[in-house]
């Protein structure tokens, strides 16, 4: 019975359009909601220092430490709120919290360089 929701449409939905009982007929739809904008600091992981111990993975409140095949691949900046827990718990000081605005500007520069 599950159907894929188009979130841009739901905003306009009047009575009778929603599922009975206001049930959300899909799971994990929050993935489509960005909380990255809450961040004032951004975690930057140093691949060299990291030994994939997973301590930061289990300590992240926002499921934002991405792991594949037992390795920490990257940080999900769409959802990471920049709490800094990962940096705080890392036993190897492999994560640094950087000012978000500066991080964005640097990112912008890199994009420019690419172009």
Partner 1 sequence: MAKPKEIANRPERLTGGHRLCAGCGAPINVRQIMSVCPGPAVVSVATGCLEVSSTIYPYTAWKDSMIHSAFENAAATISGVETAFRALKKQGKISHDMYFVTFGGDGGTYDIGLQALSGAVERGHNFLYVCYDNGAYMNTGFQRSSATPCGAWTTTSPVGTESFGKTQNRKDLAEILVAHDIPYVATASPHNFKDLMNKAEKAFTTPGPAFINVISPCPRGWRTPGDQTIALAKEAVQSCYWPLYEVEHGKYKVNYKPRPERKTPVADWMKKQGRFAHLFKRPDGEKVLAEIQEYIDRKWQELLKKEECL
Partner 2 sequence: MSRKAMTGNGAIALALKQAEPDVMSAYPITPQTEIAQNYAQFVADGAVKTEYIAVESEHSAMSAAIGSAAAGARTITATSSQGFALMWEMLFIAASLRLPITMPVITRALSGPINIHCDHSDSMGGRDCGWVQLYGEDAQEGYDNAIQAFRIAEHMDVRLPVMTMIDGFIISGAIGPLEVLQDDQVKQFVGPYEPIHPLLDIDNPVTVGAFDSLGGWYFEHKVTQNMAMDKAMSVIESVGREYGQLTGREYSHFKTHMIEDADIVLVAIGSAAGNVKTMVDRLRAGGVKVGMMKVRTFRPFPHLQVAGALAGARVIGVMDRSDSFGAQGGPLFTEIRSAMFEAPRRPQTFNFIYGLGGRDIFPDDIEGAVRLLEKAAAGEEISQKRYYLNVREVSLDGQA
For Cα atoms 63, 69, 70, give the angle at the middle one, nearest 5 degrees: 70
Distance CA 32, CA 61 (A): 17
Q: How far is the CB of 3 from partner 2 (least distance, A)?
A: 10
Closest CA relative to residue 64, chosen from 52, 54, 85, 78: 78
Q: Is 75 in the site for partner 1 (CB under 8 A)?
A: no
Q: How far is the CB of 25 from ligand SF4 (least distance, A)?
A: 26
By a kind-dependent CB cut-off of 5 to 8 A, residue 21 interacts, out of partner 2, ligand SF4, partner 1, none, with partner 2
Q: Is 85 in the site for partner 1 (CB under 8 A)?
A: yes
Selected from 5, 44, 78, 85, the binder of ligand SF4 by CB under 6 A is 85
Instruction: Give residues in contact with partner 2 (CB under 8 A).
Output: 1-2, 10, 13-27
Q: 14 by DSSP, 3-state: which?
A: coil
Give the sign of the dihedral formed by CA 23, CA 25, CA 28, CA 33. Answer: negative
Distance CA 76, CA 71 (A): 14
Question: Interface with partner 1 by CB under 8 A: which residues?
Answer: 5, 7, 10, 22, 24, 26-35, 38-39, 52, 54-55, 57-64, 67-70, 76, 78-85, 87-89, 97
């Amino acid at each position: 019975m599950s159907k894929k929701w188009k979130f841009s449409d739901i905003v306009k939905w009047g009575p009778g359009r929603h599922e009975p009982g206001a049930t959300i007929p899909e799971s994990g739809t929050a993935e489509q909601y960005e909380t990255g904008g809450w961040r004032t600091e951004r975690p930057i992981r140093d691949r060299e220092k990291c030994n994939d111990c997973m301590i930061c993975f289990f300590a992240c409140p926002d499921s934002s430490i991405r792991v594949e095949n037992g390795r920490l691949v990257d940080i999900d900046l769409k959802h990471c709120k920049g709490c800094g827990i990962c940096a705080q718990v890392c036993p190897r000081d492999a994560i640094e919290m950087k000012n978000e605005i500066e991080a964005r500007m640097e990112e912008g520069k890199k994009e420019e360089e690419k172009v």
